[in-house]
Protein backbone atom coordinates (compact mmCIF):
# COMPACT_ATOMS: atom_id res chain seq x y z
CA UNK A 1 0.00 0.00 0.00
CA UNK A 2 1.44 3.35 -1.08
CA UNK A 3 0.74 6.69 0.61
CA UNK A 4 0.43 9.56 -1.88
CA UNK A 5 -0.03 13.30 -1.58
CA UNK A 6 -1.90 14.46 -4.68
CA UNK A 7 -2.42 17.93 -6.13
CA UNK A 8 -6.13 17.75 -6.84
CA UNK A 9 -8.41 20.70 -7.56
CA UNK A 10 -5.74 23.06 -6.28
CA UNK A 11 -5.48 21.50 -2.83
CA UNK A 12 -3.57 18.63 -1.22
CA UNK A 13 -5.40 15.29 -1.03
CA UNK A 14 -3.84 12.37 0.81
CA UNK A 15 -4.57 8.97 -0.73
CA UNK A 16 -3.66 5.36 -0.03
CA UNK A 17 -3.12 3.36 -3.21
CA UNK A 18 -3.07 -0.45 -3.51
CA UNK A 19 -3.24 -2.83 -6.45
CA UNK A 20 -3.15 -2.65 -10.24
CA UNK A 21 -6.16 -2.58 -12.53
CA UNK A 22 -9.37 -0.56 -13.03
CA UNK A 23 -9.58 2.31 -10.52
CA UNK A 24 -12.00 2.16 -7.59
CA UNK A 25 -12.07 5.37 -5.55
CA UNK A 26 -13.21 5.15 -1.91
CA UNK A 27 -14.66 8.19 -0.10
CA UNK A 28 -15.16 8.02 3.66
CA UNK A 29 -17.64 9.80 5.92
CA UNK A 30 -17.82 11.34 9.40
CA UNK A 31 -15.88 10.94 11.63
CA UNK A 32 -13.56 8.62 9.75
CA UNK A 33 -10.56 8.39 7.43
CA UNK A 34 -9.14 6.51 4.43
CA UNK A 35 -8.52 3.81 7.07
CA UNK A 36 -12.25 3.00 7.13
CA UNK A 37 -11.72 1.17 3.82
CA UNK A 38 -8.74 -0.97 4.91
CA UNK A 39 -10.67 -4.25 4.49
CA UNK A 40 -12.05 -3.34 1.08
CA UNK A 41 -8.73 -2.12 -0.31
CA UNK A 42 -7.02 -5.43 0.39
CA UNK A 43 -9.86 -7.49 -1.09
CA UNK A 44 -10.18 -5.41 -4.25
CA UNK A 45 -6.43 -5.21 -4.86
CA UNK A 46 -6.24 -9.00 -4.56
CA UNK A 47 -9.05 -9.29 -7.13
CA UNK A 48 -7.26 -7.17 -9.75
CA UNK A 49 -8.40 -3.63 -9.04
CA UNK A 50 -6.56 -0.44 -8.16
CA UNK A 51 -8.09 0.56 -4.83
CA UNK A 52 -7.51 4.16 -3.76
CA UNK A 53 -8.93 5.59 -0.53
CA UNK A 54 -8.64 9.30 0.16
CA UNK A 55 -8.70 11.51 3.21
CA UNK A 56 -11.54 13.86 2.30
CA UNK A 57 -10.64 17.56 2.51
CA UNK A 58 -10.71 18.56 6.18
CA UNK A 59 -9.43 15.17 7.33
CA UNK A 60 -6.13 13.43 7.96
CA UNK A 61 -3.24 14.63 5.83
CA UNK A 62 -5.43 16.40 3.27
CA UNK A 63 -5.83 20.19 3.10
CA UNK A 64 -8.09 21.87 5.64
CA UNK A 65 -9.26 25.19 4.23
CA UNK A 66 -10.41 27.52 7.03
CA UNK A 67 -13.52 28.84 5.27
CA UNK A 68 -16.75 26.96 6.01
CA UNK A 69 -17.97 27.38 2.43
CA UNK A 70 -14.85 25.60 1.13
CA UNK A 71 -16.55 22.33 2.06
CA UNK A 72 -19.59 22.64 -0.22
CA UNK A 73 -20.51 19.61 -2.31
CA UNK A 74 -19.26 21.07 -5.59
CA UNK A 75 -15.77 21.33 -4.09
CA UNK A 76 -15.83 17.66 -3.06
CA UNK A 77 -16.90 16.60 -6.55
CA UNK A 78 -14.08 18.66 -8.05
CA UNK A 79 -11.65 17.06 -5.56
CA UNK A 80 -12.67 13.59 -6.73
CA UNK A 81 -12.27 14.50 -10.39
CA UNK A 82 -8.87 15.97 -9.54
CA UNK A 83 -7.82 12.81 -7.73
CA UNK A 84 -8.66 10.64 -10.76
CA UNK A 85 -6.64 12.96 -12.98
CA UNK A 86 -3.71 13.14 -10.54
CA UNK A 87 -3.57 9.34 -10.47
CA UNK A 88 -3.14 9.32 -14.26
CA UNK A 89 -6.57 7.78 -14.84
CA UNK A 90 -9.56 8.94 -16.88
CA UNK A 91 -12.40 7.12 -15.10
CA UNK A 92 -13.24 5.26 -11.91
CA UNK A 93 -15.93 3.45 -10.01
CA UNK A 94 -16.63 5.56 -6.91
CA UNK A 95 -17.67 4.11 -3.55
CA UNK A 96 -18.86 6.25 -0.65
CA UNK A 97 -19.97 5.69 2.94
CA UNK A 98 -21.86 8.04 5.27
CA UNK A 99 -21.08 11.60 3.98
CA UNK A 100 -18.98 9.87 1.36
CA UNK A 101 -22.21 8.41 -0.05
CA UNK A 102 -23.76 11.77 -1.02
CA UNK A 103 -20.34 12.93 -2.22
CA UNK A 104 -20.02 9.82 -4.41
CA UNK A 105 -23.61 10.21 -5.62
CA UNK A 106 -23.05 13.86 -6.56
CA UNK A 107 -19.84 12.90 -8.34
CA UNK A 108 -21.68 10.31 -10.45
CA UNK A 109 -24.59 12.70 -11.08
CA UNK A 110 -22.46 15.64 -12.17
CA UNK A 111 -19.59 13.79 -13.87
CA UNK A 112 -20.82 10.44 -15.25
CA UNK A 113 -18.08 10.74 -17.87
CA UNK A 114 -15.51 10.23 -15.09
CA UNK A 115 -17.42 8.10 -12.58
CA UNK A 116 -18.80 5.21 -14.60
CA UNK A 117 -20.47 3.44 -11.65
CA UNK A 118 -21.26 4.27 -8.02
CA UNK A 119 -21.71 2.29 -4.80
CA UNK A 120 -23.46 3.99 -1.88
CA UNK A 121 -23.12 2.69 1.67
CA UNK A 122 -25.42 3.50 4.61
CA UNK A 123 -26.88 6.78 3.28
CA UNK A 124 -29.50 6.25 0.53
CA UNK A 125 -29.59 8.43 -2.57
CA UNK A 126 -32.23 11.13 -2.74
CA UNK A 127 -32.25 13.29 -5.87
CA UNK A 128 -31.55 17.00 -5.24
CA UNK A 129 -34.56 19.17 -4.61
CA UNK A 130 -37.40 19.30 -2.13
CA UNK A 131 -37.26 21.21 1.15
CA UNK A 132 -34.32 23.23 2.45
CA UNK A 133 -32.31 20.66 4.43
CA UNK A 134 -32.06 22.50 7.74
CA UNK A 135 -35.85 23.01 7.67
CA UNK A 136 -36.35 19.27 7.14
CA UNK A 137 -33.96 18.43 9.95
CA UNK A 138 -35.71 20.90 12.26
CA UNK A 139 -38.97 19.08 11.63
CA UNK A 140 -37.29 15.70 12.20
CA UNK A 141 -36.00 16.87 15.58
CA UNK A 142 -39.38 17.97 16.88
CA UNK A 143 -38.98 19.32 20.41
CA UNK A 144 -35.30 18.37 20.32
CA UNK A 145 -32.48 19.29 17.95
CA UNK A 146 -31.55 16.96 15.12
CA UNK A 147 -27.83 16.30 15.20
CA UNK A 148 -27.11 17.90 11.81
CA UNK A 149 -28.64 21.16 13.02
CA UNK A 150 -26.66 20.79 16.25
CA UNK A 151 -23.53 20.72 14.10
CA UNK A 152 -24.35 23.95 12.24
CA UNK A 153 -22.84 26.55 14.57
CA UNK A 154 -19.03 26.65 14.21
CA UNK A 155 -17.29 25.77 17.45
CA UNK A 156 -20.31 24.31 19.24
CA UNK A 157 -19.84 20.62 18.47
CA UNK A 158 -16.06 21.05 18.45
CA UNK A 159 -16.21 22.11 22.10
CA UNK A 160 -18.11 18.95 23.04
CA UNK A 161 -15.95 16.55 21.03
CA UNK A 162 -12.49 17.96 21.57
CA UNK A 163 -12.88 18.01 25.35
CA UNK A 164 -12.27 14.24 25.22
CA UNK A 165 -11.71 13.00 21.67
CA UNK A 166 -11.08 9.39 22.64
CA UNK A 167 -14.20 8.96 24.75
CA UNK A 168 -16.44 10.83 22.30
CA UNK A 169 -15.28 8.87 19.26
CA UNK A 170 -15.75 5.51 20.98
CA UNK A 171 -19.21 6.50 22.14
CA UNK A 172 -20.20 7.71 18.67
CA UNK A 173 -18.86 4.60 16.91
CA UNK A 174 -20.54 2.18 19.33
CA UNK A 175 -23.84 4.09 19.42
CA UNK A 176 -24.18 4.09 15.63
CA UNK A 177 -23.25 0.41 15.35
CA UNK A 178 -25.49 -2.63 15.80
CA UNK A 179 -24.64 -2.45 19.53
CA UNK A 180 -26.23 1.00 19.90
CA UNK A 181 -29.15 1.37 22.29
CA UNK A 182 -31.63 4.18 23.08
CA UNK A 183 -30.59 6.53 25.86
CA UNK A 184 -31.73 6.03 29.44
CA UNK A 185 -34.67 8.34 28.67
CA UNK A 186 -35.56 6.32 25.58
CA UNK A 187 -34.31 9.03 23.25
CA UNK A 188 -32.22 8.65 20.11
CA UNK A 189 -28.59 9.68 19.72
CA UNK A 190 -29.72 11.48 16.56
CA UNK A 191 -31.30 14.28 18.58
CA UNK A 192 -30.08 16.54 21.36
CA UNK A 193 -32.22 17.65 24.29
CA UNK A 194 -32.51 21.41 24.89
CA UNK A 195 -29.35 22.44 26.72
CA UNK A 196 -27.86 18.97 26.34
CA UNK A 197 -24.99 17.39 24.41
CA UNK A 198 -24.99 14.79 21.68
CA UNK A 199 -22.97 12.40 23.83
CA UNK A 200 -25.65 12.37 26.53
CA UNK A 201 -27.31 9.43 24.77
CA UNK A 202 -24.25 7.50 23.68
CA UNK A 203 -24.15 3.76 24.33
CA UNK A 204 -21.19 2.64 26.45
CA UNK A 205 -19.47 -0.75 26.40
CA UNK A 206 -16.84 -2.19 28.74
CA UNK A 207 -14.99 -3.67 25.75
CA UNK A 208 -14.13 -2.82 22.16
CA UNK A 209 -16.53 -4.24 19.57
CA UNK A 210 -15.18 -7.09 17.45
CA UNK A 211 -15.28 -4.97 14.29
CA UNK A 212 -13.15 -2.23 15.88
CA UNK A 213 -10.10 -3.63 17.69
CA UNK A 214 -8.37 -1.22 20.05
CA UNK A 215 -5.36 -0.74 17.74
CA UNK A 216 -7.65 0.24 14.86
CA UNK A 217 -9.60 2.60 17.10
CA UNK A 218 -6.40 4.28 18.25
CA UNK A 219 -5.61 5.15 14.62
CA UNK A 220 -8.76 7.27 14.47
CA UNK A 221 -8.03 8.85 17.84
CA UNK A 222 -4.53 9.87 16.82
CA UNK A 223 -5.80 11.37 13.56
CA UNK A 224 -8.47 13.52 15.18
CA UNK A 225 -6.40 14.57 18.16
CA UNK A 226 -3.94 15.94 15.61
CA UNK A 227 -6.41 17.55 13.19
CA UNK A 228 -9.37 18.56 15.32
CA UNK A 229 -12.93 18.40 13.97
CA UNK A 230 -13.70 21.73 12.32
CA UNK A 231 -12.85 20.57 8.80
CA UNK A 232 -14.95 17.44 9.23
CA UNK A 233 -17.92 19.32 10.69
CA UNK A 234 -17.81 21.98 7.99
CA UNK A 235 -19.28 19.44 5.56
CA UNK A 236 -22.52 19.55 7.59
CA UNK A 237 -22.45 23.34 7.55
CA UNK A 238 -22.92 23.40 3.78
CA UNK A 239 -26.13 21.42 3.43
CA UNK A 240 -28.17 24.50 2.56
CA UNK A 241 -25.49 25.78 0.18
CA UNK A 242 -25.53 22.38 -1.54
CA UNK A 243 -29.30 22.61 -1.89
CA UNK A 244 -28.86 25.93 -3.70
CA UNK A 245 -25.85 24.81 -5.76
CA UNK A 246 -27.54 21.66 -7.04
CA UNK A 247 -30.88 23.17 -8.06
CA UNK A 248 -29.90 22.77 -11.71
CA UNK A 249 -29.96 18.99 -11.09
CA UNK A 250 -33.23 19.02 -9.14
CA UNK A 251 -34.88 15.59 -9.07
CA UNK A 252 -32.40 14.17 -11.57
CA UNK A 253 -31.62 10.43 -11.42
CA UNK A 254 -28.15 8.91 -11.42
CA UNK A 255 -27.94 6.95 -14.67
CA UNK A 256 -24.66 5.07 -14.23
CA UNK A 257 -24.77 1.57 -12.71
CA UNK A 258 -25.32 1.79 -8.96
CA UNK A 259 -25.31 -0.28 -5.77
CA UNK A 260 -26.69 0.38 -2.28
CA UNK A 261 -25.70 -1.38 0.94
CA UNK A 262 -27.19 -0.47 4.31
CA UNK A 263 -27.71 -1.93 7.76
CA UNK A 264 -31.12 -2.71 9.24
CA UNK A 265 -30.07 -1.18 12.57
CA UNK A 266 -28.75 2.03 11.08
CA UNK A 267 -30.66 5.29 11.43
CA UNK A 268 -29.99 6.69 7.91
CA UNK A 269 -31.07 3.40 6.31
CA UNK A 270 -34.29 3.38 8.34
CA UNK A 271 -35.00 7.09 7.78
CA UNK A 272 -34.19 6.63 4.11
CA UNK A 273 -36.75 3.89 3.50
CA UNK A 274 -38.80 6.16 1.24
CA UNK A 275 -35.69 7.11 -0.75
CA UNK A 276 -34.84 3.42 -1.17
CA UNK A 277 -38.38 2.72 -2.37
CA UNK A 278 -37.88 5.34 -5.10
CA UNK A 279 -34.72 3.74 -6.49
CA UNK A 280 -36.46 2.56 -9.71
CA UNK A 281 -36.84 6.27 -10.55
CA UNK A 282 -33.76 7.79 -8.88
CA UNK A 283 -31.29 4.97 -9.67
CA UNK A 284 -32.62 3.48 -12.93
CA UNK A 285 -29.41 1.49 -13.52
CA UNK A 286 -29.45 -0.02 -10.02
CA UNK A 287 -27.65 -3.36 -9.91
CA UNK A 288 -28.58 -4.23 -6.33
CA UNK A 289 -29.92 -2.85 -3.05
CA UNK A 290 -28.96 -4.81 0.05
CA UNK A 291 -29.95 -4.32 3.70
CA UNK A 292 -27.70 -6.37 5.99
CA UNK A 293 -29.42 -7.80 9.05
CA UNK A 294 -28.22 -6.96 12.56
CA UNK A 295 -25.85 -4.36 11.11
CA UNK A 296 -25.38 -0.76 12.12
CA UNK A 297 -23.95 2.27 10.37
CA UNK A 298 -20.34 1.19 9.84
CA UNK A 299 -21.23 -1.49 7.29
CA UNK A 300 -17.84 -1.86 5.61
CA UNK A 301 -16.20 -2.42 8.99
CA UNK A 302 -18.97 -4.25 10.86
CA UNK A 303 -19.57 -6.66 7.96
CA UNK A 304 -16.40 -6.40 5.93
CA UNK A 305 -16.55 -9.80 4.19
CA UNK A 306 -20.17 -9.41 3.06
CA UNK A 307 -19.54 -5.89 1.80
CA UNK A 308 -16.45 -7.08 -0.07
CA UNK A 309 -18.45 -9.83 -1.75
CA UNK A 310 -21.18 -7.40 -2.78
CA UNK A 311 -18.70 -4.85 -4.10
CA UNK A 312 -16.78 -7.44 -6.10
CA UNK A 313 -20.00 -8.82 -7.60
CA UNK A 314 -21.04 -5.27 -8.53
CA UNK A 315 -17.67 -4.50 -10.08
CA UNK A 316 -17.78 -7.69 -12.13
CA UNK A 317 -21.06 -6.48 -13.68
CA UNK A 318 -19.89 -2.95 -14.44
CA UNK A 319 -16.84 -3.93 -16.50
Catalytic residues: 98, 297
Return the percent helix, strand and coil in the chain, to nearest 5.
45, 15, 40
> How far is CA 216 from each of CA 45, 111, 219, rounded to the nearest angstrom?
20, 34, 5
Q: Would you say 96 and 66 are in contact if contact means Cβ atoms under 8 Å apart? A: no
Please choose, from the candidates 71, 178, 49, the residue with its C-alpha nearest in 3D space to the C-alpha of residue 119. Answer: 49
Rounded CA gap, 317 and 319, in Å?
A: 6
Distance of CA 31 to the CA centre of its chain: 8
Buried b (16+ CB within 10 A) or exposed e, 35-57: bbbbbbbbbbbebebbbbbbbbb
Rounded CA gap, 312 and 309, in Å?
A: 5
Rounded CA gap, 183 and 187, in Å?
A: 5
Please choose, from the candidates 297, 314, 284, 249, the residue with its C-alpha nearest in 3D space to the C-alpha of residue 119. Answer: 314
Residues in the chain: 319
Amino acid sequence: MISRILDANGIRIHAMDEGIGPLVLFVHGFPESWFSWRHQMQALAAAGYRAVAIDVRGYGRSSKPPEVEAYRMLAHVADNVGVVEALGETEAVIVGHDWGSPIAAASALLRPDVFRAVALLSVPYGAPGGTRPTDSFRAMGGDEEFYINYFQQPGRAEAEIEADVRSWLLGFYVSASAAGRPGSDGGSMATVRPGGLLKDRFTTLDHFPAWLPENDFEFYVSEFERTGFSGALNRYRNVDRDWEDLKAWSRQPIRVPSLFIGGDRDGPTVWGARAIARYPETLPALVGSHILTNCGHWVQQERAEEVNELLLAFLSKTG
